Amino acid sequence: MPTRRSKPRAMAVNAIQRPLRRMGYELQPYIKGIPVQPREEDFRRVKILASYGVTVLLDVGANIGQFALRTRSAGYRGRIVSFEPLSAAFEELDREARKDPRWDCMKQALGRSAETTEIHISQNSHSSSLLEIDEHHLRSAPGSAYVGTEEVSVVSLDSIWDQVVMSSDRSFLKLDVQGFELEALRGAERSLSKLTGVETELSMAPLYEGAPGYREVIDHLEGGAFRLVGLDPNFFDPESGELLQADAIFIRD
């Protein structure tokens, strides 16, 4: 039910929305620089989550909550557990998550095993990585350049599984870990068989030093009885037009 405060706000938005729509535009929500209007791929993801009865979404590499907010706006109503190791990003993430009773967050990076290490902080924040960045990445996205480091805690998914997933859950793992995909998956050897699905980035060209290529990640997941059901290109070389990275969704049969 709308509150006294939200009702006038909704009326004001509608008053602006009507003339904009007549001109072919629409006003979209925007929270502190976070675009929360879902994209076409967000609606497809939510349809997949619903088709397989997913009840908890593990959002690894959450940054400030962009993925969770878009997925929620696209219609997902289950639990979300977000993981973000960077202090500044985590503060914003935690602030957003507190508004949603079915959204929790942990200040952690996920990897093969428990350790404390340094993460490289990129200028745009979301390209921050535990790995060194490749020159090809910098040429294609100068805003991804590193501007500092921070000490962060790394844990394996296996070690915290029982803290975040209930026995009755059907779980879906989303990885946005900037070249650390296989390390995170190798820290989920026992958890992998319990997952309903996985979404991860696939790199078609070197973007981080020592990061796996797309074939390595696909082979690893196919070896765990997952099959590819969705692919969305997300990062192109601005000069050549070549695809550098795509988001892929896998479902376990």
pLDDT averaged over the chain?
89
What are the pLDDT digits (tens) for 37-77? 788 999 999 999 999 999 999 999 999 999 999 999 999 99
In the prediction, which pLDDT does 49 show? 98
In the prediction, which pLDDT does 3 show? 33
What are the pLDDT digits (tens) for 182-204? 999 999 999 999 999 999 999 99
Residue 227 pLDDT exceeds 80: yes
Whole-number Å distance between alpha carbons of 111 and 21: 46
Taken in order 104, 96, 177, 224, is the CA torsion positive or negative?
positive
Residue 6 pLDDT exceeds 50: no
Band of residue 20 on the pLDDT scale cut at 50, 70, 90: low
Domains along the chain? 1-31 (no CATH), 35-252 (3.40.50.150)
* pTM for the predicted model, two decimal places: 0.85
Whole-number Å distance between alpha carbons of 104 and 80: 6
- What would the mean pLDDT of 127-149 be, rounded to a whole number? 93
State both tokens at 29: 């929500």
- What would the mean pLDDT of 146-151 be, rounded to a whole number? 96
In the prediction, which pLDDT does 60 show? 98
Whole-number Å distance between alpha carbons of 205 and 86: 26
State both tokens at 210: 């020592």
Residue 4 pLDDT exceeds 50: no
Beta bridge partners of 227: 251
- DSSP letters, 78-145, are SEEEEE---HHHHHHHHHHHTT-TTEEEE--EE-SS-EEEEEEEETTSTT-BSSPBPHHHHHH-GGG-
* Residue closest to 234 by CA, chosen among 21, 22, 45, 33: 45
- Residue 86 in contact with residue 107, Cβ under 8 Å? no
In the prediction, which pLDDT does 52 show? 97
Band of residue 14 on the pLDDT scale cut at 50, 70, 90: low
State both tokens at 186: 């190798």
Residue 17 pLDDT exceeds 70: no
Residue 9 pLDDT exceeds 50: no
